[in-house]
Amino acid sequence: MIKRVGIFLFAFFFIQFVEGQKIVWSYQQCIDTAIKRNISINQTRLSNEVNKVNLKQSKALRIPGVSGSASEGMSFGHSWDPIMSSYVEKTYNSTSLSINGNLTLFNGFQNTRTILQNKLLVDAGESDIDQARDDIILNITTAYLEALLAYEILDAAIRQEEATTTQVDRTRKLVNAGKVPELNLLQIQSQLATDNLAVVNAQGSLDIARVTLMQLMEVPVIDSFDIVKPVIAEPSLVTLSSNTDIYQKALSVVPDIRSAEIRSNSALLGIRISEGARYPRLNMTGGVNSNYSTQNPKNYSFSRQWWENLGQNLGLSLSIPIYSNRQIRSNIDRAKINLLNTRLNEQSTRNQLRKIIEQSYTDLKNSWKKFEATKDQLRTAEVSYQSIEKKFNVGLMTAIDFLVEKNNFAQAQSNLIQSKYNFIFKSKILDFYQGKPIQF
């Protein structure tokens, strides 16, 4: 009993110790974990395993199929003995053994084209896995940037709260000295309560961002989770290719495009496979068989009867389709419709990619303009705030006017942070669609 209690206490305190440790994840660790644990990626991988099984099965059709059979029977009364080729009036046992093989020599190239089609489906499946991996990378990138944004918003809110706290202390001293009315202190204290709420809201946004990131990684949500906060340089609009050039580059990089193209080629082979049913089918068959019977008058042993009754057969069979109740024609028509559908899907995938790039390209240019504008806004708001603060500290400005400028300055800081991360995210997306790795 004491031993069990000791084990329980050890486990309890160990868990508390582990949970108390701050777990810091880098961006790459988040990506690697999400890719490893993501259910959608694993399901896509398993689906392609089925494609590989189908490919192996289609290849196996090029070799003969072999089957064996055995039968054991008892006859009594008036019965025919196939071994002695006569009727008998006694009870006896008989055994038959055979091995048969079948090989398709020609079936309108259906086997060959089916192998090629299954190879294409395996390749398409690999592209699907890559696309699922790319999707989770983009989702993790979005969540990671959201968390970094939330951290900066929280830091800015805390700085504003600290500045207001300092201002409350300063104003209280001025009120006690009789230099400013008590209303100023009340108004500054009201602003402090607002700043406290802003910190709480910013912390809540950060918590939600962290939860979102952990859920995308398929890891349990824990309070000790944290991420590496890299130093992100101020954004700069380097030479940007046109959206047409980016789109052309993306066509050769995005797995979805490659998958859609492969499936169109697979559908074209599907027509050829269906058309192969119009051709004659040539099969070769062969077999070995033997029999044993206790009715044998010479009472030969099993092995001797097996060898003496051993027989072989070899044959060719030709099947010529004449009329199949329109089954062949219907299969061909369905295959043609499937080809048209896959080509439409391919075009839709291309169009969707083009729209995403066009939207991201336009958003990137606009976010750059907004970033530059918010920098100017912050610059002027900071100068105005510093000037008003000096006047307020010596009693030359009302608290209302001071708080208006202070809030304008805080809003300008928030606008700059958000525009910066919006620009970073848009630029990362365009880089990703061009095959450039996302790094921080």
Sheet (strand 281-293) strand order:
65-75, 92-106, 281-293, 311-319
- Provide CB contacts within 8 A for 22, sequence distance 6+: 224, 226
Nearest alpha carbon to residue 61 among 113, 99, 98, 100: 113
H or E element that contains 68: strand 65-75
Amino acid identity at 269 = L
Q: Check pLDDT > 90 for residue 308.
A: no
Q: For residue 224, give the 3-state DSSP assignment.
A: coil
Q: Which two tokens stand for residue 165?
A: 């706290």
Estimate to the nearest angstrom the gap between the alpha carbon of 247 and the chain centroid. 22
Amino acid identity at 354 = R
Strands 225-227 and 23-25: parallel
Nearest alpha carbon to residue 422 among 357, 378, 374, 353: 374
List the domains of the chain with CATH numbers: 23-62+107-279+321-433 (1.20.1600.10)
Amino acid identity at 73 = G
Question: In degrees rounded to 5, what are phi and psi of residue 62?
Answer: -80, -10
Residues 115-163: pLDDT tens digits?
999 999 999 999 999 999 999 999 999 999 999 999 999 999 999 999 9
Residues 203-237: pLDDT tens digits?
999 999 999 999 999 999 998 999 999 888 777 76
Please indicate whether residue 70 or residue 12 has the higher confidence score (pLDDT): 70
